[in-house]
Amino acid sequence: MTPRFQFSIHATDGKARTGTIAMRRGEIRTPAFMPVGTAATVKAMKPEGVRASGADIILGNTYHLMLRPGAERVARLGGLHKFMNWDRPILTDSGGYQVMSLSELRKITEEGVTFASHIDGSRHLLTPERSMEIQRLLGSDIVMAFDECPRADAPRDVIEKSMQMSMRWAQRSRAGFDAGEEHAERSALFGIQQGALVEALRRESADALQNVGFDGYAIGGLAVGEGQEAMFGVLDFAPDMLPADRPRYLMGVGKPDDLVGAVERGIDMFDCVLPTRSGRNGQAFTWDGAVNIRNARHAEDPVPLDESCPCDACRNYSRAYLHHLIKAGEILGAMLLTEHNLTFYQGLMAGMRKAIAEQRFASFARDFRARYLG
Amino acid sequence: MTPRFQFSIHATDGKARTGTIAMRRGEIRTPAFMPVGTAATVKAMKPEGVRASGADIILGNTYHLMLRPGAERVARLGGLHKFMNWDRPILTDSGGYQVMSLSELRKITEEGVTFASHIDGSRHLLTPERSMEIQRLLGSDIVMAFDECPRADAPRDVIEKSMQMSMRWAQRSRAGFDAGEEHAERSALFGIQQGALVEALRRESADALQNVGFDGYAIGGLAVGEGQEAMFGVLDFAPDMLPADRPRYLMGVGKPDDLVGAVERGIDMFDCVLPTRSGRNGQAFTWDGAVNIRNARHAEDPVPLDESCPCDACRNYSRAYLHHLIKAGEILGAMLLTEHNLTFYQGLMAGMRKAIAEQRFASFARDFRARYLG
């Protein structure tokens, strides 16, 4: 029988780990990158293309889905997996981050967050209990606790109070999730560490989360403008505060070199809009660095984006064609560059997993940086 | 050895005909519908999806391609087929129609048309000779003569003078095409009948074209706002003026019921942006008529667009999901509805070909109209 949630670490190399998470809807190889499927679609991709790129799991956004098409509607239509034709695991965020960054007229109280939809201005209340209910209605496989994510440059007392409220919300999330009974028996719940850049607050948050107990632990409140050096500074200590036998998920990260540095520091899971959003804007990721395909120097270049890449964009099209498509605003340009970027990201994750398994992660990371950043 | 261009009629039923056009790059089953690949891409589709929908040939636009990325550039990159990864036949229009409908600051003389690009305002001259050169540079399989397409409601003397100039341009197009030597030996040239709604002018145009001699004959100057009744009125006589042993191509048509009525009147080939453009806007074609998927009544409808359709959109997604994608402006909505519409159009063409082969086109057309328009 497939377990509800079982994380197995197959190899470690320094702080880096590789393993698998076994769940009812499929196995997740770690370190894992989760493409973002905000509004029940990974933008410009069919789900079979997302899978073919190497993704074991995708992310869905509670905030977007609760507003459109609505969680109850998705539930009546058989859940998010059926709705969007993706039968493998889905992790849903809690709405906590997006409600801060996207909604309008927010009011935060101990109860939760009242806000106006950025789509139609309608008023909504999101609480830990409602976030759990929405994620249950969606049929999420990995449910995220509801938290508040303050700005990393907020005063320490703001960060501290916010983190402490998020920890109370984590407890309410746990209770709300467990009340889901059948859904709780088939899915997993992750807590989210907060505390911004402050080691003592990260420690306090990690301890509070472990007192509640979660299937996995996310590191929240990073990748919000603090810069890679500050982020790595936190990642030098924050993952170690979380249980070694549980997956550690760094939310909203990041650039390819962010991923390598984070895996080096013990992170197992990532999500980010960068490969999809950049693809639509004409930025492609390659082992030799990022390429802006809009640049005029590609206008007549007959070579593919990356000779070694197995994706359709690289096997069948020139840089000149991709340049043309993006300049002309053609949808196929977004489709091909998104597919390429997701393939590159998954290739990078696969490369890291293999390097860890073969105990050569340090040299992998060094070679990657020399080529990618060089 | 594959012939340069060989049209074989396998069966006729009334005026309707079914057959094949054999060309170096592949066979075209007629009656044929050609998806429009304006800017070197059938919008929102990969070429393999276009092929999977049943298309034997696509159309490329001289006007758009000469402006961006430029015909000489496409030639240096190996031609349009290689550029866009489509190895089957491509028909290119001559630019005559689009230069009238899209460009700015047009000046028409006997020599040709001077105009300003709608993209960047740059000045260009398009003549029969330059149109032939551009289509040769693109590597077109079926080249269209350069013509002028006046408004159907223009005064008769305007229509007449325009048609007569188009016939002189047809002769210059023939000479320009033949001067292409190697390309002329591997591709075909079609003339375009003009004369708007006037039978005598259509006759004069048809005779002039046959004096020059072409591989196929297009009917131009229709589908420009005259309405279906007026169009069918012209199609009651115009195809009969063109050689029975050559393909007849009705340019820029049309709605599904236009196609059935035109095949009934002896047309073999069509192109139209309708299935692709409508798809991006949320209009889907089905055997039971057009469906506006934006309509709120689809918001929670779990059934597919068309239970009998073999396309991905119908096999794997609900109307509710398609409604959500289009409302949210998601690229996947454009992808899935375009794929569906092209599949529907090709299914309609296949149905007509089969009905003609089986000598039951009249009942096919009657049943189609009862269901589609009913």
* Residue B212 in domain: yes
Work out the pLDDT band at B271, boundaries 50, 70, 90. Answer: very high
Average pLDDT over residues A338-357: 98
**So what's the pLDDT on residue A141?**
98
A119-148 burial, b at 16+ Cβ within 10 Å, e below that, comes to: eeeeebebbbbbbbbbbbbbbbbbbbbbbb
Query: In whole angstroms, what is the distance from residue A283 CA to residue A281 CA?
Result: 6
A interface with B, Cβ–Cβ below 8 Å? 39-41, 43-46, 68-69, 73, 76-78, 83-85, 280, 299-300, 302, 312, 316-318, 320-321, 324-325, 327-328, 330-332, 334-335
In chain B, what percentage of residues exceed pLDDT 70?
100
Q: Indicate the residue type of B80.
A: L
Which pLDDT tens digit goes with each residue over B40-61? 999 999 999 999 999 999 999 9
ipTM above 0.95, yes or no: yes
With CA atoms as reference, report the closest residue to A64 among A89, A36, A35, A98: A98
Does the global pTM surpass 0.95? Answer: yes
Q: Do A330 and B41 touch (CB under 8 A)?
A: yes
Domain end call among A208, A242, A272: A272
* Residue B184 in domain: yes
For A318, the closest chain B residue by CA position comes to B83
Which pLDDT tens digit goes with each residue over A39-65? 999 999 999 999 999 999 999 999 999
For B37, the closest chain A residue by CA position comes to A330
Q: Are residues A284 and A193 in the same domain?
A: no
Task: Indicate if the pLDDT at residue A150 is higher than 90.
Answer: no
For residue B24, the domain's CATH number is: 3.20.20.105
Best of A86, A321, A326, A338 to substitute, by most chain B Cβ atoms within 10 angstroms, is A321
Q: Are residues A107 and A190 in the same domain?
A: yes
Work out the pLDDT band at A2, boundaries 50, 70, 90. Answer: confident
Q: Are residues A314 and A254 in the same domain?
A: no
Point out the catalytic residue in the list B93, B141, B215, B306. Answer: B93
What tokens does A75 get?
């539930």
Q: Do B44 and A335 touch (CB under 8 A)?
A: yes
Task: Indicate if the pLDDT at residue A1 is higher than 80.
Answer: no
Which pLDDT tens digit goes with each residue over A104-131? 888 999 999 999 999 999 999 999 999 9
Work out the pLDDT band at B104, boundaries 50, 70, 90. Answer: confident
Q: Is the dihedral of CA B37, B40, B46, B51 positive or negative?
A: positive
Residue A332: which of B46, B328, B332 has the nearest Cβ? B46
- With contact defined as beta carbons under 8 Å apart, do B92 and B62 qualify? yes
Domain end call among A272, A304, A322: A272
Query: In whole angstroms, what is the distance from residue B223 CA to residue B231 CA?
Result: 7
Phi, psi of B219 (to 5 degrees): -105, 110
DSSP character at residue A260 = H
Total number of domains in chain B: 1
Q: Are residues A303 and A341 in the same domain?
A: yes
Work out the pLDDT band at A157, boundaries 50, 70, 90. Answer: very high
* Residue B266 in domain: yes
Q: Do A331 and B334 touch (CB under 8 A)?
A: yes
Residue B85: which of A73, A316, A328 has the nearest Cβ? A316
- With contact defined as beta carbons under 8 Å apart, do B92 and B144 qualify? yes
Q: Do B46 and A321 touch (CB under 8 A)?
A: no
**So what's the pLDDT on residue A332?**
98
* Residue B310 in domain: no
Q: Are residues A251 and A284 in the same domain?
A: no
Average pLDDT over residues A273-300: 98
**So what's the pLDDT on residue B215?**
98
**So what's the pLDDT on residue B105?**
80
Q: Are residues A141 and A45 in the same domain?
A: yes
Q: Do A331 and B331 touch (CB under 8 A)?
A: yes
Q: SS3 string of B90-110?
A: EEECCCHHHHHHCCEEEEECC
Query: In whole angstroms, what is the distance from residue B216 CA to residue B295 CA?
Result: 42
What tokens does B84 get?
């866009």
Average pLDDT over residues B84-113: 92
* Residue B343 in domain: no
**So what's the pLDDT on residue A81?**
98
What tokens does B154 get?
């223009």
Chain B residues with CB-CB distance to A39 below 8 A: 324, 328, 330
**So what's the pLDDT on residue A289?**
98
Whether the bond between B69 and the residue before it is cis, its omega within 30 degrees of 0, is yes
Q: Are residues A141 and A196 in the same domain?
A: yes
Q: Do B78 and A44 touch (CB under 8 A)?
A: no
Average pLDDT over residues A149-175: 95
With CA atoms as reference, report the closest residue to A57 among A141, A161, A136, A125: A141
Q: Are residues A113 and A139 in the same domain?
A: yes
Domain residues for the domain of A23 are 5-272
Q: Are residues A108 and A177 in the same domain?
A: yes
Domain end call among A272, A305, A326: A272
For A304, the closest chain B residue by CA position comes to B83
Task: Indicate if the pLDDT at residue B101 is higher than 90.
Answer: no
The count of CB pairs under 8 A between chains A and B is 96
Which pLDDT tens digit goes with each residue over A230-275? 999 999 999 999 999 999 999 999 999 999 999 999 999 999 999 9
Quick one: CA torsion of A203, A207, A213, A218, rounded to 10 degrees?
Answer: -10
Best of B36, B38, B41, B48 to substitute, by most chain A Cβ atoms within 10 angstroms, is B41
Residues of A classed as catalytic: 93, 271
